[in-house]
Amino acid sequence: MLILRGLSNNMLLLKLYEKNPEQRHIDRIVELLRDGGVIIYPTDTVYGMGCDITKARAVERVARIKGIKAEKAQFSFICSDLSHLSDFARHVDNATFKLMKSHLPGPYTFILTASNQVPKSIKQKRKTVGIRVPDNNIILEIVRQLGHPILTTSLKMDDEILEYPTDPELIAEDYGDFVDAVIDGGYGGIVPSTIIDCSGDEPELIREGLGEVDF
């Protein structure tokens, strides 16, 4: 079911069901991303905001919405699986790959040494990149059909004390002037992903979130 709200910039509010997201709605979102659009979508943790990682202006737009400079942003991106991991990360040893494979899809962000194929708009001067493969079929199907990862960041601003927003209709009201589409995949969570840094010699827990720490 396609739902349109009378928001000021003709933003789309699309209702998708995780078990069987309608193809025509997926197609519309993919088209938006390829045109440099910014979307808000459900994950297996909190709602996220993102864009096509190859669209530098869209990446800058996400940073502006977050109220931060793109060169200082700690953006991660969502992959549909680990099959293209070597395209974006360097020096992924067997132990790291096994750790990721045993936890993904799931509520984890893995920090890896970035390869030269990570777009400069995301990599900037940093040597690492965050990789997510959330256990949510809506966003994974969008990434699969887009053909490459999308940038991802939580909706919570860095200086906010409030919890992560969970109601997609309220999210649409708050962000309607700033993004091109909000995907209503049901109520979101309030606990972010667990962050594990695998760019060093041993995995290091950076943030304990929804994912259990068992490495």
Q: What is the pLDDT of residue 162?
A: 65
Helix axes of 137-146 and 23-34: crossing angle, nearest 10 degrees: 60
Strand 2-4 relative to strand 181-184, pairing: unpaired
pLDDT at 56: 93
Nearest Cα neighbor of 77 from 193, 182, 191 is: 193
From start to end of 155-201, where are the E strands?
Answer: 181-184, 194-197
Q: Are 52 and 149 in contact (CB under 8 A)?
A: no
We find that the CATH architecture of domain 2-207 is Alpha-Beta Complex (3.90)
* Strand runs labelled E in 64-180: 76-78, 89-90, 108-114, 128-132, 150-154
What is this structure's pTM? Answer: 0.92
State the pLDDT at residue 125.
75
Give the closest residue to 46 by CA, choosing from 213, 211, 212: 211
pLDDT at 158: 57
Give the pLDDT score at 3.
Answer: 37
Per-residue pLDDT of the chain (215 residues; tens, 9 = 90+): 333 333 446 899 999 999 999 999 999 999 999 999 999 999 999 999 999 999 999 999 999 999 888 777 888 999 999 998 989 999 899 999 999 999 999 999 999 999 999 988 887 778 999 999 999 999 999 999 999 999 999 987 655 556 899 999 999 999 999 999 999 999 999 999 999 999 999 999 999 999 999 87
Two tokens, residue 149 = 């990862």
Tell me what pLDDT residue 69 has.
Answer: 82
Q: 92-95: long-range contacts (C-beta < 8 A, 24 or more apart)?
A: 92/198
